[in-house]
Structure 1
Amino acid sequence: MPPPSVLIAGAGPSGLILALVLLQNGVPVRIIDKEPKHRIGARGTGVQPRTLELYAILDILPEFHKYGAPIVPMAMYKPGDIEPSKVAPLAQWVDPTPDTPHPNAIMITQERHEAILRDQLQKLSCAVELGSELCSFEQFSDHVVANITKTDADGKQVTESTQFDWLVGAEGARSVVRKQLGLSFLGETQEQIVALGDIVIEEGMDPKLWHMWKLPPRLLSLRSCNSGNNLFNFAYSGRPKHSAEKTLTREEFIEDFYALTGKRDVKFGAATWMSNWRPNMRMVDTMRSGRVFIAGDAAHCHSPTGGQGLNSSVQDAVNLGWKLALVQKGLAPATLLDTYSEERIRVIAQMLKLTTALYSKTFTAGQAATDDDSEWKRGGDLSMLGVNYCGSSIVLEDGDAGSASAYSKAAGSPVQAAYRAPDASGLVRAGGPTTLFATFSVAVHTVLLFGGNTASRTTIAGILNQLPADAVRTVLVMLQGQSVGDDAALFSEVLEDREGYAYSGYGLTMSELAVVIVRPDGVVGAVVPDAEGVKRYFQGIFV
């Protein structure tokens, strides 16, 4: 096996997903984490619909459905009430459709989330190196030297200096990589301290509800880490400052819980972890410096309200991964890597505005308790299905789409450059039934050809066949009963749209040729009617 080309420091979701994307692209990686053991705890539990779609493209989604659970309703209590005064869903259930098969977020503990990703890496012969800390690095024109300290179970330390082609810092908000690069980390740190942790509740609390007591200035939330077990995650704010600065103990939490809620029938077990969190809302202004990148919390930290942080980190990794793979394999110019910052910074800025506004609405000290559940409502933009890269220099857009909000859904046609590529079920290929998500891959651009005649399709196929064979997959989509013609051999795959969902979902017809270029991150790079459009798009990608 060749030596690792990329060092990833940090084995949270962003680092693990980046490793998975690079490995699926055939790029060897090394992933390290300074912690001696894998982290435990629920932490970031919400997995949004857009992330589920990316996991479908990565072919890892079944494990998340196996261990995940639907978002539970919110139970709100008034002061002195033993029973909730109101129970309301955090998000309205949305029925799946052929173009959006995963419209509802799920809950899964971050501990389980990361374990699933590590298992996927193991299948690709990659393991996280625990007790290995990136202490510093030196950057050169054609490589990076990383200085790593490894600590074994007995506390013995060994330092190594190893050369890599690229370095990615995904080591959280205290990122060594970000600090050594001297990147700005603009934003604010709030005074309020929130106690977080997981605790076993043996009886007296319904695991199928998210329990919330708002007794200004205190707010306490308690929810099951999974509706099928008795481990609950809590967030507790508004404690007196002299108390809040110390890490809450299990006994203190139980005493305060009884005093705040009056629910003395609740029986507690062990607390598995507890810590303090001070709200930081910060982000960098660039995510690349030469051969070094940052991703996830190393580049942006924010309120957990809205469940955007982990999901944004995953999207960072997928965006960077396919671009870094193309450059590493010599198929794309290094300038392609500049679009990582270009595309993600705009999205992260919008995400910070959304989550900060939600945090202020939810946790503002002194805000009166109310029957209004609007502050808890989720869904809508928070599903991240509208996250887009409008204005990107490598996306071919029509009109003034570049001025759209980073979280806005496409206006006009169902398929639009810079936005997610919709799915479509009811397709049939040579091997049997399939979907568009099953056709997409993080290792290739998928070029979908709809409609047109044999001559026009042959012209497009001729151009595409001149591109790197292992980086582009050409797929002809035909309606049921339509003759494929003599050009079938020119395509990587021919799909029969037996139910018509692909054509209807993309708003296309057989009468006119439409070429939809889907990037490896499941984003539409271009929707063009002819060969010139295809050439234009790929001139911005490949060498």
Structure 2
Amino acid sequence: MSNSSVLITGAGPAGLVLALILLKNGVSVRIIDKEMNHRIGSRGSGIQPRTLELYDILGVLPNILKVGEGVPLMVKYVRGEIKPVGTITISERIEPTPDTPHPNGQIVTQDVHEEVLRAYLQDLGCSVELGTQLLSFEQFPDGVVARIVKTDADGNQVEEDTRFDWLVGTDGARSIVRKQLGLSFLGETQSEHIALGDIAVEGIDSRFWHMWHEPPKLLLLRPSGLNSNVFMFAYSGGLEEKTMTREEFIEQFYAFTDRRDVTFGPATWLSDYRLTRCALGAYLLPEVCFVVPFSPSLSQDDSADAAHCHSPAGGQGLNSSVQDVVNLGWKLALVQRGLAPETLLNTYSEERLRVIAQMLQLTTDLHEKTFHGDSKDHKEAWARGGDIQMLGVNYCGSSIVQEDYAVQRGSVTPYAKSGTGRIQAAYRAPDAPGLVRAGSEGVPTRLFSIFSVEMHTVLLFGGDDIARAEVLSRLPKEAVRAVLLLPQGQTATDGSSSALVLEDRAGHAYAGYGMRVDELTVVIVRPDGVVGAVVIDAEGMERYFRKILS
């Protein structure tokens, strides 16, 4: 019998992040992967600003930034020419602001990305079990029994039947969980194929992406890092339905570019991607079992997420997968800890499906511009700012969002920012640095350091001691942290507050959240960094938590 509450199948970024969230919430986890060794290869390399914010709250961002690099420029060539004929800025650099400290994406190859996450997991006493595969499972009212097979280095296998409270499949398009439940993708698969892989290259500059484009053919070489001669290649246009070999790629490269000054070393990873646009009709499955996405694995054996698949254009797949499990993780943790009803889990599908539907359309449009657009208009086709950063992803219309103001100007699309100039429920909670413990000269802190995947954070702005005391007296005692934010220059309260009392010494919290000093506003930030409620009194706060807690 297992001592773990949750079995996670698949150890890509989504599975690893989910494991981290559950462990930080005191929920025991077992995470398995059928591969005998950790995967190699660049695969999904772009980490968008919103995912960086979530990593900041989760506490894994420092080591991600150590191995990451900004998005470089792209240079384009014509056949036979050694010198580029143009330069393309894929992502304009944006200066950080107090409310958005991570406005620029990072490039981290997926194998390195996973290695960083595994190290954090190890610090929490959990390791990925390699060579361990889910064969089947049986559901019961109080849990699930999983049949698991473990394979050692000599090929010896041992099967086990183990009980868990929950099973989460993050194991790719060929997910055993999804297949046994008989779930199919809803969408379309096109005949277009793209060859992908990592290969050592000599003769080109690793500071740039390199591109040749003669529609319908496109060839891209993307560096793995400034100090690496390994490039990920992407090649499309009239390919056969099979994985291209190293030799076949080199032959195609020379024929297409006529660049004999470029030479190639070993290929460490090869894959084949068929353009697909689809999603599960629903994410949440009955009683004890979920299907949630795995970061994209672009191969014929594993060509999509467990819950959505799409073009890699725009770097949304891995990020959507991580954001999926962040949404699920805090809800599952509350349910497992007995603090929330199981019905809370229904909101996972409710909130994420509309986001993924928009993402599918966005990546499809980007794919058409990138691979099939006018070869003379690359600057527009390759622009990767705006919605791609995912800072506007929102849950407007969610049944667990609470807004006390008369007019909630909800976004018409799940990727767009609110634009109201004031904090709004269903959107990301902004950062605010320069917060200091009231009456002290301590080291300043910031909201992203206060937010936690382990609890809701209740921020109290403005009002008087009486109004604030009423809110604090009726605050749920478990899984909630209260923070009283005093306006700039105010350092004293009645001294009886049970909240963490901080002075907004730099003024960024009140300004960034659009708050007034003379009226009480309560902003409730969920463990996923989303504003769950903006209310004006204790009754509004209680209405919100009645939707969440048991």
Give the shorter-chain TM-score range: over 0.9
Q: Tell me what 2:473 maps to.
A: 462
> How far is the alpha carbon of 1:267 from its aligned partner?
2.2
Q: 2:80·2:259 contact (CA, 8 Å) conserved in 1?
A: no
TM-score, with length taken from structure 1: 0.96
1:55-454 matches, cutoff 5 A? 55-201=55-201, 203-240=202-239, 244-289=240-285, 290-296=287-293, 297-364=305-372, 368-397=374-403, 399=407, 401-402=409-410, 404-429=412-437, 432-454=443-465
Cα distance in 2 for residues equivalent to 1:495 and 1:79: 61
Give me the TM-score of the superposition, normalised by structure 2: 0.94
From the superposition, tell whether residues 295 and 401 of structure 1 become closer, same or farther in structure 2 (CA, over 3 Å): farther
The match for 1:486 is: 494
Aligned CA distance change for structure 1 residues 317 and 281 (closer, same or farther; 3 Å): same
* Deviation string, structure 1 residues 34-89 (Cα, Å, up to 9, x no partner): 11110000000000000000000011101111000000112122334322211021
Contact 1:11 1:128 in 2 (8 A): yes
Q: Give 1:108 shift.
A: 0.3
Which secondary structure does the structure 2 equivalent of 1:494 belong to? strand
Question: Does residue 525 of the first structure (1) align with residue 524 of the second (2)?
Answer: no
| Residue-by-residue CA offset, 1:66-115 (whole Å, 9 max, x unaligned) | 00000011212233432221102101111000000000001000000000
Q: Does structure 1 retain, via aligned residues, the 8 Å contact 2:193–2:241?
A: yes
Report the CA distance between 1:130 and its aligned residue.
Answer: 0.5
2:519 matched to 1:508?
no
> Does residue 499 in structure 1 map to residue 510 in structure 2?
no
Q: What is the CA distance between 1:400 and its match in structure 2?
A: 5.2
Comparing 170-179 and 43-52, the one that deviates more: 170-179
Partners of 1:371 and 1:166 lie apart in 2 by: 49
Question: Residues 371 and 284 of structure 1: is their aligned pair in 2 closer, same or farther, counting only changes over 3 Å?
Answer: closer
Q: What amino acid sits opposite 2:242 in the alignment?
A: K
Matched residues, percent identical? 61
Deviations 1:394-423 (A, max 9, x none): 001353545621101013133110000000
Letter in 1 for 2:519: E
Q: Deviations over 1:471-516 (max 9, x none)?
A: 000001112321431255321x111111101111111121111110
Match of 2:542 among 528, 535, 538: 535
What is the aligned length? 533
In 2, Cα distance between equivalents of 1:388 and 1:424? 20
Tell me the distance in 2 between the aligned counterparts of 1:413 and 1:328. 37
Amino acid at match of 2:504: D
Which AA in structure 2 matches 1:222?
A: L
Could you list the runs of 5+ residues in structure 1 that have no partner in the other structure? none
Counterpart residue type for residue 292 of structure 1: C
- Whole-angstrom distance in 1 between the partners of 2:86 and 2:97: 31
Q: Once the two structures are superposed, what CA deviation does each residue of 1:309-335 show, in whole Å capped at 9, x if it has no partner?
A: 000000011100000000001100100
**Preserved contact between residue 451 and residue 514 of structure 1 (Cα < 8 Å):** yes
C-alpha displacement of 1:433: 1.4
Amino acid at match of 1:452: G
8 Å Cα contact 1:86/1:371 also seen in 2? no
Tell me, what secondary structure is at the counterpart of 2:161? strand
User: CA 1:462–1:400 in 2, change beyond 3 Å: closer, same or farther?
Assistant: closer
SS at match of 2:97: coil
